[in-house]
Amino acid sequence: MLTIAGFDPSGGAGVLVDVRTIVAFGCHPVAAMTSLTFQNSGGVFGATHESAKSLRAQIVPVVEERKVAAVKIGMLPTSELILEVACLIREGRLPAPVIDPVLKSSSGYELIESDALEILTRELLPLARVITPNIPESETLTALTVSDEESMRAVADRLRAMGAHAVLIKGGHRKQSGVGGPGSEKAQATDILDDAGDVHVFRGEWIEALPVRGTGCMLSSAIAAGLAKGEDLPQAVAAAKEFVAAEIRKSKLKTQS
């Protein structure tokens, strides 16, 4: 399985998290780096981006040697890189990818150039097997506001109208009261998967913990790993969500010890 993403030297996100996740799901990881970022757990301080030529030079020898069962795409910071990845997919060198549209770091650093966002939406989004934006990313991509489950569905529908085959709107930025009203049940986080109009709702317990870096990388890599193993998309999403929830619980236990 191939991950195409940025490199975080601190290991909190990007290629290193992807590789750890892919291995955890029993798949063999291969990787291509789009950007060398300069960061630690406190923030991002800069980045040096690959060229289209160097990205292709990383990918082509790998896909010529072995069949790539699935692809996860993370940070694509420039129009040049986005167009190159789209070209590789159209050439048939890569299967339809799981795209995690990385727009900003958790500390607020812009990870995609302003002119590249339109290219990402126009050229790459229609080629994806599924796109996995969180709520802020989905609002940026669609110019819609997410305030409840109904608006999450509307954003997913808008992204499909823009060309996406399937959309997973991640609800981790929006804490919900349990069914039955505030205080009646444990708080929840809800994700909405719209797969070519077939809508699945995933509800999970809201885990009170400090923010965990790299959860978007984990989730998208886990989904791609599930697809690589022959699972259908809802199965892959369900298993990926369980994996990420377990990682958040582990992090919570570490901070409490």
pLDDT of residue 198: 96
Sheet holding 30-40, edge to edge: 43-49, 30-40, 2-7, 71-73, 98-99, 130-131, 166-169, 188-195, 198-205
Average pLDDT in the chain: 91
8 A C-beta contact, residue 94 and residue 71: yes
Quick: pLDDT tens for 8-30: 999 999 999 999 999 999 999 99
Give the pLDDT score at 108.
Answer: 80
Query: Residue 125 has what DSSP assignment?
Result: G
Measured distance CA(227)–CA(222) in Å, rounded: 9
Q: What average pLDDT does this structure show over 182-201?
A: 82
Greater pLDDT, 192 or 210: 192
pLDDT band at 179 (very low <50, low <70, confident <90, very high): very low
- 52-65 vs 79-90: helix axis angle to the nearest 10? 30
pLDDT digits (tens, 9 = 90+) for 31-59: 999 999 999 988 899 999 999 999 999 99
Of 81, 177, 195, 68, nearest in space to 132 by CA? 195
Q: What is the CATH number of domain 2-128?
A: 3.40.1190.20
Residue 180 pLDDT class (50, 70, 90 cuts): very low
Q: Which residues contact 153 (CB under 8 A, 6 or more apart)?
A: 192, 194, 199
Q: How far is CA 201 from CA 39, 191, 242, in A?
A: 35, 6, 14
**DSSP state for residue 127 in the 8-state scheme:** G
CA–CA separation, 92 vs 53, rounded Å? 18
Which of 230, 228, 229, 240 lies closest to 200, judged by CA?
240
C-beta separation of 103 from 75 below 8 A: no
Residue in this structure with the two tokens 């406190």, named with its chain if needed: 42
3-state secondary structure of 33: strand
**Helices assigned H by DSSP within the chain:** 15-24, 52-65, 79-90, 116-119, 135-142, 149-161, 215-228, 233-256
Spell out the residues 6+ positions from residue 35 whose beta carbon is closer than 8 angstroms to its own.
Answer: 6, 7, 47, 48, 49, 50, 75, 77, 111
Task: Grade residue 208 by pLDDT with cuts at 50, 70 and 90.
Answer: low
